[in-house]
Structure 1
Amino acid sequence: MGRPRTFDEEAILDRAMLLFWRKGYEATSMNDLVEELGLGRGSIYAAFGDKHRLFVLALGRYLGRQDDLLASSFDDLRPALPQLRELFERLLQADSVCSESGCFSVNSIAELLPNDEEVADRARRSLRKAEQTFAVQLERARRGGELSPAIGAPEAAHLLLTLVQGLQIMRKVDPDPARTTACLDSAFALLRNPVPALALS
């Protein structure tokens, strides 16, 4: 019978996630992981598998936290568009924890797709869930007269998903928060119904 593990696997995954986030998959060596995690190669392989498996687990941990943020961000008693706008601020703020490294998910997509099907599958599922969450709120905005009649909720959801993914790339080139805020303000101004909601009732 093997010896029981003497380390916190979740804490180790968090440290691996931050390392892969900062350096990327290819640039992170096993020596880097040994040094960062404080574990021998044998312990890493026994607990998490090879480097790729550890990366996928770390990415899954990151995506899971994004899913939790999406799931806890909306109150059906408040207008939908302001809450979506606040969510985008929180998503972008959450990614600032790793300095100017951008979004771990976006970085992984750019580095490993289309050749890594496991990463592609995780990314697709996460993006689909985000888009569906946006669509639900945008449909609520449409019913409440918040959303411009010029665009449907599904199309607006895809637009917002594309916007937030693109902003993560742009922020690595131009990290000025004022420009990010202005971009979000412009997008939501275009989505907003110019006719006051009371006039539609």
Structure 2
Amino acid sequence: MARPRTFDEDAILDRAMLLFWRKGYEATAMSDLVEELGLGRGSIYAAFGDKHQLFVRALSRYLGRQDTLLTTAFDADGPALAQLRDVLDRLLAADAACGNAGCFSVNSIAELLPRDEDVARLAQRSLRVAEEAFTRQLERAAQDGELSATVTPDAAARLLLTVIQGIQIVRKVDPDPARAAVALDSVFALLSKEPAELMPDPA
């Protein structure tokens, strides 16, 4: 009869996620996981499978949190574009909490695609959730007269998604939050029917 587990599986997944996030998949050895998680190899294999299975579960947990934010953060009250900008700022701030490691999802895509089908499926699903959430919010912006007539909600959503992914890459080289803010200000100025005054480009 198998002994019951004496550890919090969700807490262990969070610790594994942060380790993979900081080091990347290939650079994280099983010995690193044993030390970081405080579990023996046998316990890790029994609970999570091999290193790749643990990585996929950790990435899925990370993406699930992003998906939840994107599908619950918007409501019908208040300016649609301002809400969208706030959500993007929150996503960037959450990733900044892991130092200069960038975005766990973007890092994983860059490291493991196209050869890793499991990571590809997770990434494709998460990008689809984000694009759909952006599109719905931008459709409301268009209905409320906020969105520029020069762009459709679909195209604007794809543009925002691409810019956010690019910002996450650039922040690994230059983590200055002012640069990310200027980039988002520029995009929202293009999307808005009434462009706001842009922040000065940081030196």
Instruction: Establish whether TM, by shorter chain, passes 0.5.
Output: yes
How far residue 179 of structure 1 moved from its aligned partner, in angstroms, is: 1.1
Structure 2 match to 1:67 = 67
Structure 2 match to 1:107 = 107
How far residue 61 of structure 1 moved from its aligned partner, in angstroms, is: 0.4
Q: Write out per-residue CA displacement over residues 61-105 of structure 1, whole angstroms, 9 at most, x where no aligned residue.
A: 000110111122112121110011001100000001110000000
Paired residue type of 1:101: A
* Cα root mean square deviation, aligned: 0.9
Structure 1's unaligned 5+ residue stretches are: 196-201
Distance 1:180 1:194 in 2: 21
Distance 1:6 1:102 in 2: 33
1:32 matched to 2:32? The reply is yes
Structure 1 match to 2:50 = 50
Misfit runs of 4+, over 3 Å:
none
Distance 2:119 2:41 in 1: 23
How far residue 140 of structure 1 moved from its aligned partner, in angstroms, is: 0.5
What is the SS of the residue equivalent to 2:55? helix
Structure 2 match to 1:145 = 145
How far residue 175 of structure 1 moved from its aligned partner, in angstroms, is: 1.0
Paired residue type of 2:147: L
Q: Write out per-residue CA displacement over residues 48-68 of structure 1, whole angstroms, 9 at most, x where no aligned residue.
A: 000000000000000011011
Structure 2 match to 1:10 = 10
Tell which deviates more after alignment, 53-62 or 186-195: 186-195
Q: Write out per-residue CA displacement over residues 151-177 of structure 1, whole angstroms, 9 at most, x where no aligned residue.
A: 000000000000101100011111111
Distance 1:36 1:178 in 2: 33
Q: TM-score, normalised by structure 2?
A: 0.95
Structure 2 match to 1:198 = none
Structure 1 match to 2:123 = 123
1:98 matched to 2:104? The reply is no
Alignment size in residue pairs: 195
Distance 2:44 2:150 in 1: 53
Distance 1:156 1:107 in 2: 24
Distance 2:52 2:72 in 1: 30
Q: Write out per-residue CA displacement over residues 130-160 of structure 1, whole angstroms, 9 at most, x where no aligned residue.
A: 0000000000000110000000000000000
Structure 2's unaligned 5+ residue stretches are: 196-203
Distance 2:9 2:176 in 1: 36
Q: TM-score, normalised by structure 1?
A: 0.95
How far residue 7 of structure 1 moved from its aligned partner, in angstroms, is: 0.4
Distance 2:67 2:129 in 1: 8
Q: Residues 190-201 of structure 1 correspond to what in structure 2 (within 5 A)?
A: 190-194=190-194
How far residue 35 of structure 1 moved from its aligned partner, in angstroms, is: 0.2
